[in-house]
A = this chain, B = another copy of it.
Amino acid sequence: MLVAETFKALGDPIRLEMIERLSDGSRRSVGSLFDGLGLTRQGARKHLQVLADAELVTLEIKGRQTEVSLDPTTLASAKSFIAGLELQWDRRLVALRDFVEKNDASG
């Protein structure tokens, strides 16, 4: 899975709200998940599908309702992508500091 797709799925306030509602690990029916979002059920459903396609949430049919739960692994890989960038950045800072120390006339 492309990490860009994960970020894209996270790039909307309504979808982030859904993720936050699920972040405590609870399972919710789609109906309760959509409550109070300020858009129609079908509109919310499209957002949910984006999260499902990005494998950020899992859908499971239980009788007449569908249960939604968070899949934390995709979220984790997005986080480590950013962490990887920051690692690069930190290496540069260390290299820069070493260079300054080595060439510091006052040392």
A43 contacts the other chain (CB 8 A): no
Interface string of A62-79 (1 = CB under 8 A from B): 000000001010011011
Whether, in the assembled complex, A57 has its beta carbon less than 8 Å from a beta carbon of chain B, the answer is no
Contacting pair B91 A24 (CB below 8 A)? yes
Distance between A1 CB and nearest chain B CB, rounded to angstroms: 12
A24, B75: Cβ atoms closer than 8 Å: no
Number of interface residues of A (CB under 8 A): 36
Q: Which of A76-99 contact B (CB under 8 A)?
A: 76, 78-79, 82-83, 85-86, 88-89, 91-93, 96
Closest to A85 in B: B23
Known: A11-B5, A11-B10, A16-B4. A25 touches B79 (CB 8 A): no
